[in-house]
Amino acid sequence: MMRNVFGGSQKQEVSFFIKIIRKLAPVYRRLGVDYPIMEKIIDTKLLMDSRQEKVIPTNSMWGNSKEEDEDKNAFFQSLWAYALISLILLFVFAIDNIQFQYTVFFSFIFIMLLSTLIANFSSILLETKDQILIGTKPVSSRTLSAAKATHVFIYLISLTLALSVPMVVGTFFIHGILAGLLAILLTVVASIWCLLLTIITYATVLKRFNGEKLKNIIAYSQIGISVFTVIGYQVMNQAFQFINPSMLAIELNLQWWHIFVFPLWFVAPFGLLENGFSLTYLVYIVLLIGGTAALAVLYYFNSDKLEANLQKLESGEGDTDKRSWYETLSSKCLCWDKKERGYYHFTWQLTKNEREFKTRLYPSLATIFVFPIILIGSTYQLTEDGGVGINQLSVFKYMPYYALLVIPMLAVSVKYSKNFKGSWIFGMRSENHAGVFIRGMIKALIMKLLFPIYLVLSSVVLVFSDLEILPALLNGLLLVILIFSIEVKRTIQTFPFSKRYNASEANQGCFATVIFIAITGIVAVGMFAIQELVPFGVYILMVTLLAIDGWILTKGFDKITLKMD
C-alpha cells in the first residue's frame, strides 16, 4: 500500500486505545477539553512511540517481516512478562482471609504504579516542549494537559492490567463473578488514583515555586512519594497478625490510625461483600468514594495550571559547572589517563545538572535507605541488661548489599539525556575511544552515587557491630563495582547519554530490575556461604574481587565498540 511522507498508510487504521477513548469523549468535553484536538495529539504521540528502536527484536522467533513489526510498540509487546511475574500474587489465596488477600494485592499495585510513574513517566508529565510546540497553537492548556495525562494513562492502565490479570482471574474462580467485577473496577480506580496523585503533586509544587529551586523541590517530592509507598506497605503489614501460623490463619487488627492508609479503603468493599455490613467497612468505603471525588475535583482545577506553569522549569539559573573538591580529588586518584578524566568530569557534571536523570533515578535511591531501616526494626531487640542490640548479626552485616538494587535503573538511565542531539560529537574521534569513555563513566557514577550509598549503609552496620566485619563490607563494595560494570557492559550498545527517553521504553528499568534481583540474589547467597563457611573465604574473595575490579577499571572495555544511535 502506498505510504505518505510521514510513513503511515493513506488509510490509517484507528488504534484500539483511540477507540476506547472515543467512548469517553462526552466526559472530556464536559471537562472543557477540545476532544478532536486531544485525540489527534494522543494518536500522534502513540505513533511516535512505536517508531522507536525496539529493545528486543520481535521478528526473529516468529518470522515476522520488518513491515509487519515496524509500528509495534515495544512497551505493549513486553507486558506479557509482567503478567507472568505477577503470578506470584496467587499465593495469597492460600490464606483464607479476604482482607489480607486484597491488602497484599492493592499494596502491590500502588507500589508498582507509583514507582513506575515517578521513575519513568515524570519526564513526560513535566515535558516543557509540548507547551512550546503545541501550546502556541489554538490549543488550550486544559486540552494539552488532558492529552498528556491520557497518553501516560494508556501506558499506566496497560501495565495495571498486566500486573492484575492473575489476581483478577483468580478472584472470579474463588470469590465469584461479583467479586471479580469489583476487582476490575477497583484496579482501574487505583490506577487513576496514582496518576491524579502524581499530577496534583506536581501542579501544587509548580504553582508555588519557580526556577532551579522548583526542580529540586520536585525531585524531593518524588523521593517522598517513593519512601511513602514503601513505608505504607510496612504499616499495612501491621494491620494483620497470625493467630495460627500452622494453619495460615490471619485476623485483621485495625487501629484508629489505619484510617489514613488509603489502600485499605480499596479492601473494604471486598470485606463488605464477604462478611456483610460493618461500620468500619462503611467508613472506609465512604472515604474511598469521597477521596476519588476529591482527586477528580482537584485535578479539574489544577490540570490547566500544570501546563501553564511548566515553563517555570526553564526559568532561573542552573547549577554551574564548578567542580567540588570531592570530584576533583577522586578523578585524580582514579583516572590516570587525561582522556578518561575528561569523560569522568563530563559524566559527573551531566548527571549533576540534568533534571530527567534525577527524576528517573533519585526516587529509587531513596528507597534503598528505607529497606535497611525496616531491617533494623525487625532485628532490633532488648538485651538482658536492658540495652538494645541487633539479632542475627551475620545477616545484618550484609545490609549494605541493598545498594545493588539501584544498579539496573542506573545502568538504563545512563543511556538517556535531554541533550541527546549533541551525541554526534562522540563520533568525531578517529580512534576508538569507547572503552575510555565507559571506564570514565563507570568510575564517575561509582564515586558519585554507589560509593556514598554503600558508605552510609556500612556506617550504620558498624555502629551496631565492630570492625571485625570490615573485610566483609569491603567485599560488598568490590562486588557492587563488579556487578555494575557487568550490567553496563550488558546494557550499553550505543554511546552513553545519546538517546532520547521515550514512553515506549519506560518499562526497561522495571523489568531489568526483576531479572537482576533474581541473579544478584544467587550471587549474594554465594558470597554469604563462602564468607561464613569457607576458612579464610572472606580474604580469598577479597583478593579475587580486587584482581577482577582492578582489571576492569584499567583495561576493561578496551575492545568494546559502540554505535551511534
- SS3 sequence of 229-291: HHHHHHHHHCCEEEEEHHHCEEEECCCHHHHHCCHHHHHHHHHHHHHCCCHHHHHHHHHHHHH
Q: pLDDT at position 70, please?
A: 47
pLDDT digits (tens, 9 = 90+) for 551-562: 988 888 877 777
Q: Return the ∠ at Cα 416 (arms to 414 and 418), rounded to 5°.
A: 130
Distance CA 473, CA 401 (A): 9
Average pLDDT over residues 74-78: 71
Give the model's confidence band at 443: pLDDT under 50 very low, under 70 low, under 90 confident, else very high. very high
Q: Assess whether pLDDT exceeds 80 at residue 442.
A: yes
Give the model's confidence band at 98: pLDDT under 50 very low, under 70 low, under 90 confident, else very high. confident
Cell of 125: 508529565
Q: pLDDT at position 236, please?
A: 59
Q: pLDDT at position 472, please?
A: 85
| Average pLDDT over all residues of the chain | 75
More confident residue, 355 or 150: 150
Most confident of 291-300, 353-362, 525-534: 291-300
Q: pLDDT at position 547, please?
A: 92
Residue 312 contacts residue 291 (beta carbons within 8 Å): no
Please list the residues that pair with 390 across neighbouring strands. 380
Q: Which of 190-194, 247-251, 287-291, 326-330 has the lowest mean pLDDT?
A: 247-251
Cell of 258: 489505619
Sheet strands (E) in 465-525: none
More confident residue, 127 or 511: 127
Only one residue has cell 538485651, namely: 383
Q: Assess whether pLDDT exceeds 70 at residue 134.
A: yes
Residue 390 contacts residue 380 (beta carbons within 8 Å): yes
Q: pLDDT at position 394, please?
A: 55
Q: pLDDT at position 495, please?
A: 80
Q: pLDDT at position 354, please?
A: 78
Average pLDDT over residues 420-424: 71
Half-sphere exposure at residue 165, Cβ-oriented, CA atoms within 13 angstroms: 15
Core vs surface per residue 388-425: b (16+ CB within 10 A) or e: eebeeeeebbbbbbbbbbbbbbbbbbbbbbbebeebee
pLDDT digits (tens, 9 = 90+) for 464-498: 777 788 888 888 889 889 989 888 888 887 788 87
Q: pLDDT at position 504, please?
A: 54
pLDDT digits (tens, 9 = 90+) for 529-540: 888 788 888 888
Half-sphere exposure at residue 277, Cβ-oriented, CA atoms within 13 angstroms: 0
Residues above pLDDT 70, as percent of the chain? 70
Q: How many CB atoms lie within 10 A of CB 349?
A: 17
pLDDT digits (tens, 9 = 90+) for 230-256: 666 666 565 555 544 444 456 666 666
Q: pLDDT at position 119, please?
A: 66
Distance CA 264, CA 280 (A): 11
Give the model's confidence band at 57: pLDDT under 50 very low, under 70 low, under 90 confident, else very high. very low
The set of long-range contacts for 370-373, using a CB threshold of 8 Å and a minimum separation of 24, is 370/227, 370/230, 370/231, 371/230, 371/402, 371/405, 372/399, 372/402, 372/457, 372/460
Q: pLDDT at position 186, please?
A: 92
More confident residue, 322 or 19: 19
Distance CA 359, CA 365 (A): 11
Distance CA 72, CA 59 (A): 11
Give the model's confidence band at 453: pLDDT under 50 very low, under 70 low, under 90 confident, else very high. confident
More confident residue, 231 or 32: 32
| Contacts (Cβ under 8 Å, ≥6 apart) of 19 | none
Give the model's confidence band at 67: pLDDT under 50 very low, under 70 low, under 90 confident, else very high. very low
| Spans of all domains in the chain | 19-56+70-314, 331-554
Most confident of 86-90, 149-153, 287-291: 287-291
Q: pLDDT at position 290, please?
A: 92
Q: pLDDT at position 4, please?
A: 47
Residue 75 contacts residue 155 (beta carbons within 8 Å): yes
Q: Assess whether pLDDT exceeds 50 at residue 518.
A: yes
Distance CA 416, CA 498 (A): 6
Average pLDDT over residues 396-425: 76
Q: What are phi and psi of 556, to 5 degrees?
A: -65, 150
Which residue in 233, 198, 199 sits closest to 108, CA to CA?
Answer: 233
More confident residue, 316 or 397: 397
More confident residue, 168 or 89: 168
Only one residue has cell 516468529, namely: 62
Residue 534 contacts residue 540 (beta carbons within 8 Å): yes
Q: Assess whether pLDDT exceeds 80 at residue 21.
A: yes
Longest dimension (CA), the chain: 84
Q: What are phi and psi of 240, to 5 degrees?
A: -125, 150
Distance CA 538, CA 540 (A): 6
Q: Which of 34-43, 60-69, 350-359, 425-434 has the lowest mean pLDDT?
A: 60-69
Most confident of 88-97, 193-202, 384-393: 193-202
Average pLDDT over residues 514-529: 75
